[in-house]
Chains A and B, each alone.
Chain A
Amino acid sequence: MNHRWLVSVSGLVVPAAVFWSATMPVAGQARSAGARTNEKPAKAYTAPRTPDGQPDLQGIWTNNTFTTLERPKNVTKEFYTAEEALEVVRRLAAQEEEQTEPGTVADVHYDFTQFGLDRSQEAMALNLRTSLIVDPADGRLPPLSAEGQKRAAERAAERKSRGGLHDAVQNEPLGARCILMDRNGPPMLAGAYNNGYQIMQAPGYVMILVEMLHDVRIIPLDGRPQLPPNVRQWTGSYRGHWEGQTLVVETTNLSGKFAFQGSSENMRLTERFTRVDEDTIRYQFTVDDPSTWTRPWSAEVPWKKTIGPIFEHACHEGNYGLRNTLAGARAEEKRAAEEAAKKGSSK
């Protein structure tokens, strides 16, 4: 347990109040909890405008969160009270700061706190929601369609046929290979660190720099059509437009290689960015993929203004870890083969 965390808890109330207006259910409003937070309160915030008249989303933001995509199974309500939500953050932050037991697999890791990798050292918008998923109302992914189940089984079989995780570089996770991570998406969701995003706007375009992997999304706003259907990309083809205060970004033409939650290349993603106060963007997305799920589903997470600049994440250049992992697996195989040979010769 780290004491600086406990000491700083008393300071939570004031800054937290700044952004709760965006995420906190307001008593006496509509019955649906989703509506309570998704609808703007009467005194709506109006974002400043860029020189060309777009609502200004520019700045450096973070989607850092402890809230899970799906609601924990032992939680039945849609919102925590403010006190409960703070308790959640405190508890999870304490978990990340605790050291593990020496000599256990979990311990093969540096201490997160000393490298600034624990989430408690980064800005975070307190989210009263118990899950990022807002629809279905149970906060869980909808059931897979028959086609989705079949594809999941096929993918698992294909993956198995390629051998072990460390048998070939192609078998390693996309993140370990510096190709794509959850921060990149689409949709863009936080991990434990490097959850920064920089938004810049120019006439006709919105640019989002994703800190992790230094990925850049340049979103045209001029109404051009999506790429031809035969052109498939890791992060798809995306086009934006404004609906009042909200930037709406539609993504199609995915390759299916980054299968978000098991999605297919037919996934249509709609993302919505609304600046709900000076320091907060409400990021909402809807996943529509009948090839995978029995119904569309939606989630939302607040993005909070944070400090910059964003340092380049040149992942490939320094990726010693991938080489070390593969070399480690080869060394283990060699050791096992030698032991087997020794056993064989002693018989």
Chain B
Amino acid sequence: MRTSRAVAVVGLGLLLAAAPMAHHAFSAEFDIDKPINLRGTLTKWEMINPHSWFHLDVKSADGAVVPWMIEGGSPNQLIKGGVTKKSLAIGTELIIEGYQAKDGTNKGVGRNILLADGRRLSLGGSANPLTNNKP
């Protein structure tokens, strides 16, 4: 079934790759040459537009605590999906895989935000667009 669908898609020859556009160009803000992998505890979650920001305390190798800020998605969609500020407790341990800001400060974008046990932090809604409709 899935194979025949895949063939049908190729046959249709449709479609432009519609990459979702956010409110700004991420590659201008963050540096592809500065991948980061952080483990820290959540100290604050700013649910603000146009992007939410996760504030983390990250322990460096020498034991010093370094604050980081990680950019995340728009809160509007999160709230629609039932996610509130209470959904992620302060003190939660997070692992961030992402990229650092181009200006070299302790800011970054989270490619993946994982819980301490490695589970992906899923903040989105569910289902598909054609069924995820009015209440």
**Stretch of A86-94, A198-206, A243-251, A338-346 lying at the B interface:** A86-94
> Which of A5, A84, A318 contacts B48, CB < 8 Å?
A318
**Stretch of A38-46, A151-159, A285-293, A319-327 lying at the B interface:** A319-327
A68 to B98, CA, bound (A): 31
- With A74-B13, A332-B102 already in contact, the answer to whether A15 and B130 are too (CB < 8 A) is yes
Indicate whether A284 reaches chain B with its CB closer than 8 angstroms.
Answer: no
> Which of A89, A96, A321 contacts B51, CB < 8 Å?
A321
Taking the nearest CB of chain A, how far is it from the CB of B36, in angstroms? 11
The reply to whether A8 and B128 form a contact with Cβ atoms under 8 Å apart is yes
A166 to B24, CA, bound (A): 12
> Which of A15, A87, A124, A279 contacts B5, CB < 8 Å?
A87
Instruction: Enumerate chain A residues within 8 angstroms of B133, measured Cβ to Cβ.
Output: 15, 123, 279, 304-307
The reply to whether A114 and B124 form a contact with Cβ atoms under 8 Å apart is yes
Instruction: Enumerate chain A residues within 8 angstroms of B53, measured Cβ to Cβ.
Output: 318, 320
A73-92 CB contact bits vs B (8 Å, 1 = yes)?
A: 01100001001101111111
Specify the chain B residue showing the minimal Cβ separation from A92: B18
Instruction: Enumerate chain B residues within 8 angstroms of A106, measured Cβ to Cβ.
Output: 19
Q: How many residues of A contact B (CB 8 A)?
A: 93
A175 to B74, CA, bound (A): 14
Specify the chain B residue showing the minimal Cβ separation from A191: B21
- With A115-B124, A318-B49 already in contact, the answer to whether A108 and B30 are too (CB < 8 A) is yes
A92 to B24, CA, bound (A): 21
The reply to whether A176 and B134 form a contact with Cβ atoms under 8 Å apart is no
- With A87-B12, A123-B133, A330-B103 already in contact, the answer to whether A114 and B120 are too (CB < 8 A) is yes
The reply to whether B71 and A110 form a contact with Cβ atoms under 8 Å apart is yes
> Which of B17, B49, B127 contacts A4, CB < 8 Å?
B127
A37 to B90, CA, bound (A): 52
The reply to whether A95 and B17 form a contact with Cβ atoms under 8 Å apart is yes
The reply to whether B129 and A114 form a contact with Cβ atoms under 8 Å apart is no
The reply to whether A110 and B113 form a contact with Cβ atoms under 8 Å apart is yes
Instruction: Enumerate chain B residues within 8 angstroms of A120, measured Cβ to Cβ.
Output: 128-129
Indicate whether A102 reaches chain B with its CB closer than 8 angstroms.
Answer: yes
Indicate whether B99 reaches chain A with its CB closer than 8 angstroms.
Answer: yes
Instruction: Enumerate chain B residues within 8 angstroms of A317, measured Cβ to Cβ.
Output: 48-49
The reply to whether A104 and B32 form a contact with Cβ atoms under 8 Å apart is yes
A6 to B123, CA, bound (A): 19
The reply to whether A194 and B24 form a contact with Cβ atoms under 8 Å apart is no
Instruction: Enumerate chain A residues within 8 angstroms of B25, measured Cβ to Cβ.
Output: 176, 325
Indicate whether B16 reaches chain A with its CB closer than 8 angstroms.
Answer: yes
**Stretch of A141-149, A225-233, A263-271, A308-316 lying at the B interface:** A308-316
> Which of A68, A90, A304, A306 contacts B18, CB < 8 Å?
A68
Taking the nearest CB of chain B, how far is it from the CB of A210, in angstroms? 12
Given contacts A307-B80, A325-B28, A332-B102, 11 further A-B contacts (CB under 8 A): A68-B18, A91-B15, A95-B18, A109-B111, A114-B120, A123-B130, A196-B76, A313-B74, A314-B48, A327-B105, A331-B104
